[in-house]
């Protein structure tokens, strides 16, 4: 059913810390591995071991640089992009077959592949590029928040988190209930000011991002002083500097 539920109980999602992410693509690889193993529903690749390979991924890591306005230095950061499990998910309401749906019990947005006709309209409706049509099976693929892990009764309790969270070597990804004000993710969002992506699209994403902290001017000028400002040195260093400058 493509009508959006209220989700008053739980809003499960990811909190991604761009300050901590080192852009290793570990989450991309583990996501691909988990979602391509175990049953017939695959994230397919075409020409995987040949020229021009193309494949379906639920998670992609971009790389950006931004100018620090106080130092005029470029600062780089990495940006993992995946489904945000929006409260007002436009990908769900546009679906003509009812394959796309949002779960009332936890807010996870899923695709029922048995109903999908592969029209691609949900991918057009998503502002974030979170959905990719699988070119082999012809059905739409998206992040499931590892619904087959988080509720698994076979996995040990510590593994019942999305595989991208489990595999992140720097702990840049956290999983939790954003509807619970006492959850770790909710606390971090409050403390560090978690943000929405493209709030102007009015999708109300559940996933939040913590933006990279801007490096202070001191951090930059202390690097610069070694290189450029040695003439200001005093004491022993100043004597060495003056002595060496004579030659």
Partner 1 sequence: MHPAPSIILFTVLSGFGFGLISIVGLLQFLSQISAGDIVIFSVIGLFFSIIGLISSFFHLANKKNAIKSMSQWQTSWLSREAISSIFCLSIVVGNIGWVFVQNRYINEVGIILFLLSLFTIFTTSMIYAQLKTVPSWNNMLTPALFIFTALAGGSILLLDYASLVLLLIFGVLQVLFWYIADQSFIHKETSVGTALGFSKNEDIRAFDVAHTNRNYLLNEMVYKVARKHAIKIRYISFFAAFVLPMSLILMFPGNFSISILVIGIHFVGIYFSRWLFFAEAKHSVSFYYN
Supply the minimum distance, in Å, between the C-beta of residue 60 and partner 1.
Answer: 4
Among 13, 26, 90, 176, binds partner 1 (CB under 8 A): 90
Which one among 93, 160, 180, 230 touches partner 1, defined by CB under 8 A?
A: 93
Minimum Å distance from CB 129 to partner 1?
A: 4
Range in contact with partner 1 (rule: CB under 8 A) among 55-63, 165-173, 184-192, 239-247? 55-63
Rg (CA), the chain: 23
57 contributes a contact to partner 1 by CB under 8 A: yes
Identity of the residue, 66 or 242, whose beta carbon is nearer to partner 1 in the bound complex: 66
**Smallest gap from residue 17 Cβ to partner 1 (A):** 12
Q: Is 71 in the site for partner 1 (CB under 8 A)?
A: no
Q: Which of 24, 36, 103, 128 binds partner 1 (CB under 8 A)?
A: 128
Output 32 or 149, the one with its CB closest to partner 1: 32
Within 10 angstroms of residue 218's Cβ, the number of other Cβ atoms is: 9
Contact pick of 9, 41, 64, 170 for partner 1 (by CB under 8 A)? 64
45 touches partner 1 (CB under 8 A): no
**Which one of residues 9, 22, 33, 62 is an interface residue with partner 1 (CB under 8 A)?**
62
- Classify strands 59-67 and 74-82 as parallel, antiparallel or unpaired: antiparallel
Nearer to partner 1, 72 or 245 (CB): 72
Interface with partner 1 includes 81 (CB under 8 A)?
A: yes
Q: Which is nearer to partner 1, 3 or 246 (CB)?
A: 3
Q: What DSSP line would sit under the chain, residue for residue?
A: --SPP---S--EEEEEETTT-----HHHHHHHHHTTSSSS----EESTTSSS-EE--SEEEEEEEEE-TTT--EEEEEEEEE----TT-HHHHT-SSS-EEE-TTT--EEE-TTT-----HHHHH-TT---EE-TTT-SEE---TTHHHHT-SSS-GGG-S-HHHHH-TT--EEEEETT-TTSHHHHHHHHHT-B-SSGGG----S-EEEPPPPPPHHHHHHHHHHHT-GGG--HHHHHHHHHHHT-
Interface residues toward partner 1, by CB under 8 A: 1-3, 52-57, 60-67, 69, 76, 79, 81, 90, 92-99, 114-121, 123-129, 132-133, 135, 137-139, 195-202, 209, 211
């Amino acid at each position: 059913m493509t009508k959006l539920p209220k989700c008053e109980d739980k809003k499960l999602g990811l909190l991604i810390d761009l300050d901590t992410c080192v852009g290793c693509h570990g989450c991309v690889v583990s996501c691909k591995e988990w979602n391509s193993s175990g049953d017939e529903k695959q994230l397919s690749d075409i020409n995987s071991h040949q020229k021009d390979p193309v494949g379906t991924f639920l998670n992609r890591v971009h790389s950006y640089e931004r100018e620090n306005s106080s130092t005029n230095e470029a600062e780089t950061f990495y940006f993992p992009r995946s489904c945000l499990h929006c409260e007002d998910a436009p990908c769900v309401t546009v679906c003509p077959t009812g394959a796309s749906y949002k779960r009332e019990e936890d807010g996870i947005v899923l695709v029922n592949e048995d109903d999908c006709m592969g029209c691609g309209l949900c991918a057009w409706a998503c502002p974030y590029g979170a959905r990719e049509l699988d070119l082999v099976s012809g059905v739409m693929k998206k992040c499931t928040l590892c619904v087959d892990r988080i509720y698994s009764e076979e996995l040990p309790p510590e593994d019942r988190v999305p595989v991208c969270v489990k595999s992140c070597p720097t702990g840049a990804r956290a999983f939790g209930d954003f509807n619970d004000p006492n959850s770790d993710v909710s606390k971090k969002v409050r403390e560090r000011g978690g943000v929405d992506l493209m709030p102007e699209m009015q999708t109300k994403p559940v996933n939040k991002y913590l933006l990279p902290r801007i490096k202070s001017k001191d951090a930059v000028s202390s690097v610069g002083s070694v290189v450029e400002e040695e003439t200001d040195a005093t004491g022993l260093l100043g004597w060495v500097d003056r002595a060496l400058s004579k030659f």
